[in-house]
């Protein structure tokens, strides 16, 4: 069966068509600037590319374009839409309602809509993506796969904030955690490299992309994660601040006249590397640092130090880790950044092996005598969505 994986953002839509017989990617693509003048479309099928610019008003038009491209006679991937068995959708928020992926029904869609207040910027377009598929492919099953679901195993001591308890009971305020499909994929792969039963493994996953989050895994389950009610909390990211003293908000708002929406927009979109330095992209920041930009170097140092503090905390959360795992854009590519983070643990005998710490390496990158193993594993955020979708529709 082939599964169409959809990741719908507010003005973008990423897709992959995955053949579940061998889990190979048959087609992938991206629609950008949906609802904005000059929508870009790009699909790649092997070395065949379909690329054009044509205004698309909404996600339904974007999905229609995706289906046209997938079935294109010359450059498409399938002969007919009948080959698509189901659609799997990345959905930001499952709240406490969804502890695992769910078939989209009238009832589950209503529950997903009820969670809009917890993440309106993502949840609305995610729902638009589901509804677009329902409209364009009536009768085709849709499955929702939640960014938060894998983290639902956290105990209350990890997920509750020390604020009035009624905020949790009345308003659902708690740590939810995000990047769940990536953490789940890596949590599944790591024990294979450690040669141990997943039940006996304790490790720390560092998903370091543009958005970054850590998770502490014991026996295959999340016991803590760094993102919170929203993806703003935690380590330093491309444009997000990560942790700040909440009192900073009032102080800056009083001084600048910003309202709370502008303030949060600043913390989400103009902070992190982008706020501290020349760009949200680690490569640009490092290039500036290499040319002698001291502030850029400080931004990298803040990023490194914050990660070290989180890893140290999660050593306690898992009560001694077997491994620290790096993944996503920076984790997979920036070997130096990973080595610098681990250098902060030389005192406890954790050591990177420079010969193993190479870009594209997959597996253990620490020395044989390192007290904790360090791994680099490329993530895959689409495959878990396709696997869940297949499993759920196979039961229908
Ligand atoms: P997203 O969260 O948008 O999926 P990615 O996982 O693609 O992000 O990660 C983007 C980050 O990865 C950027 O900060 C980028 O600088 C970094 N990155 C990608 N390739 C490299 C590289 N070769 N060296 C250093 N950093 C890299």
**284 Cα: distance to centroid of ligand 1 (angstroms):** 11
For residue 254, being part of any structural domain is answered with yes
Predicted confidence at residue 106, as pLDDT, reads 97
Whether 207 and 355 share a structural domain? yes
Q: How far apart are CA 176 and CA 165, in angstroms?
A: 16
- 184: phi then psi, degrees, rounded to nearest 5: -65, -45
User: Which residue range is the domain that position 108 belongs to?
Assistant: 2-151
Helix (H, G, I), strand (E, B) or coil at 271: coil
Helix axes 260-269, 247-256, angle to 10 degrees: 110
Q: Convert the pLDDT of each residue in 44-75 to its tens digit.
A: 999 999 999 999 999 999 999 999 999 999 99
Query: Rounded mean pLDDT of 123-130?
Result: 94
pLDDT tens string 194-210: 999 999 999 999 999 99
Ligand 1 atom at minimum distance from 331 CA: 12
142 and 14 part of one domain:
yes
- Res 255: pLDDT: 98
Question: Quick check: 360 pLDDT over 90?
Answer: no
Residues 61 and 208 in one domain: no
285 CA closest ligand 1 atom index: 16
Q: Is residue 81 part of a domain?
A: yes
pLDDT greater than 90 at residue 10? no
Per-chain mean pLDDT for the chain: 96
**Which CATH number fits the domain that encloses residue 309?**
3.30.420.40
- 85 and 18 fall within a common domain: yes
> DSSP secondary-structure letter at 16?
E
Residue 179 lies in a domain: no
- SS3 of residue 4 by DSSP: strand
The reply to whether 289 falls in a domain is yes
- Residue 370 pLDDT: 98
247 lies in the same domain as 144? no
Q: Whose CA is nearest to atom 23 of ligand 1?
A: 333
What single DSSP character describes residue 321?
Answer: -
Inter-helix orientation angle 120-136/106-114, to 10°: 160
User: Number of structural domains, the chain?
Assistant: 2
Q: Are residues 11 and 142 in the same domain?
A: yes
Mean pLDDT, residues 369-396: 97
* Chosen domain end from 134, 151, 168: 151
Answer yes or no: are the C-beta atoms of 310 and 226 closer than 8 Å: yes
Q: Give percent of the chain with pLDDT exceeding 70.
A: 100
Residue 140, phi then psi, degrees to nearest 5: -75, 130
Q: Is position 184 within any domain?
A: no
User: Is residue 119 scored above 90 in pLDDT?
Assistant: no
Same domain assignment for residues 11 and 127:
yes
Gap between the Cα atoms of 327 and 384, Å rounded: 15
Nearest to 62 by CA among 109, 7, 25: 7
Helical (H) or strand (E) element with 218: strand 212-218
Q: Is the residue at 245 inside a domain?
A: yes
User: Residue 87 forms beta bridges with which residues?
Assistant: 4, 142
Residue 350 lies in a domain: yes
CB contact at 8 A, 229 and 350? no
DSSP 93-127: --TTT-SS-EE--HHHHHHHHHTGGGSHHHHHHHH
Give pLDDT, residue 337.
Answer: 97
3-state secondary structure of 61: helix
**pLDDT-based confidence at 361, cuts 50/70/90?**
confident
Average pLDDT in the 104-127 region? 94
Cα-only R_g, the chain: 21
What separation in Å is there between the alpha carbon of 281 and the centre of ligand 1? 7
Does 331 sit in the ligand 1 pocket, CB within 6 Å? no
If asked whether residues 202 and 318 sit together in one domain, one would say yes
pLDDT above 90 (res 342): yes
Catalytic residue annotation? 147
Does residue 241 share a domain with residue 143? no
Atom number in ligand 1 closest to CA 207: 6
For ligand 1, whether the C-beta of 119 sits within 6 Å is no
What is the pLDDT at residue 208?
97
Euclidean distance between CA atoms 73 and 34, whole angstroms:
25
The per-residue pLDDT for 167 is 98
pTM attached to this predicted model? 0.95
Give the position, in ligand 1's atom list, of the atom nearest the Cα of 381. Answer: 4
Distance, first Cα to last Cα, the chain: 14
Same domain as 319, residue 226: yes
Looking at the fold, whether 371 and 227 belong to one and the same domain comes out as yes
Ligand 1: distance of its center to the CA of 177 in Å? 20
304 in Cβ contact with 296 (< 8 Å): no
- Specify if 191 maps to a domain: no
Residues 357, 231 share a domain:
yes
Tokens at 72, concatenated? 């294109």
Average pLDDT over residues 110-120: 94
Is 231 a pocket residue for ligand 1 (Cβ < 6 Å)? no
What is the 211 CA–ligand 1 centroid distance (Å)?
9
pLDDT tens by residue, 87-101: 999 999 999 999 999
Note the pLDDT of residue 272. 97
Q: Is the CB of 205 under 6 A from ligand 1?
A: no
């Amino acid at each position: 069966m082939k599964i169409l994986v959809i990741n719908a953002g507010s003005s973008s839509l990423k897709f992959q068509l995955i053949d579940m017989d061998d889990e190979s990617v048959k087609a992938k693509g991206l629609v950008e600037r949906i609802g904005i003048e000059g929508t870009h479309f790009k699909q790649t099928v092997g070395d065949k590319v379909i690329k054009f610019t044509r205004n698309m008003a909404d996600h339904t038009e974007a999905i229609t374009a995706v289906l046209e491209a997938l079935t294109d006679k010359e450059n498409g991937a399938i002969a007919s839409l009948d080959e698509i068995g189901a659609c799997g959708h990345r959905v930001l928020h499952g709240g406490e309602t969804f502890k695992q992926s769910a078939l989209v029904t009238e009832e589950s869609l209503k529950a997903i809509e009820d969670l809009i207040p917890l993440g309106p910027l993502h949840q609305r377009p995610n729902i638009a993506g589901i509804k677009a598929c329902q409209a364009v492919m009536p009768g085709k099953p849709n499955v929702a796969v939640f960014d938060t679901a894998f983290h639902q195993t956290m105990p209350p001591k990890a997920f509750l904030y020390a604020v009035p308890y009624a905020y949790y009971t009345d308003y659902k305020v708690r740590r939810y955690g995000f990047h769940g499909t990536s953490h789940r994929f890596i949590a599944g792969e790591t024990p294979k490299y450690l040669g141990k039963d997943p039940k006996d493994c304790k490790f720390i996953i560092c998903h370091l992309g543009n958005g970054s989050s850590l998770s502490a895994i014991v026996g295959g389950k999340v016991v803590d994660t760094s993102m919170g009610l929203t993806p703003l909390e935690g380590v330093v990211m491309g444009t997000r601040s990560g942790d700040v003293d909440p009192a900073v908000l009032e102080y800056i708002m009083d001084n600048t006249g910003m309202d709370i929406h502008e303030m949060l927009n600043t913390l989400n979109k103009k902070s992190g590397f982008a706020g501290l330095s020349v760009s949200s992209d680690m490569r640009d920041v490092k290039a500036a640092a290499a040319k002698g930009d001291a502030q850029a170097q400080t931004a990298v140092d803040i990023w490194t130090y914050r990660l070290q503090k989180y890893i140290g905390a999660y050593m306690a959360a898992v009560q001694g880790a077997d491994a620290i795992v790096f993944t996503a854009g920076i984790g997979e590519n920036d070997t130096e950044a990973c080595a610098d983070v681990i250098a902060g643990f030389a005192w406890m005998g954790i050591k990177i092996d420079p010969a193993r710490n190479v870009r594209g390496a997959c597996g253990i990158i620490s020395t044989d005598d390192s007290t904790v193993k360090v791994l680099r594993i490329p993530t895959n955020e689409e495959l878990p969505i396709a696997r869940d979708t297949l499993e759920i529709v196979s039961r229908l």
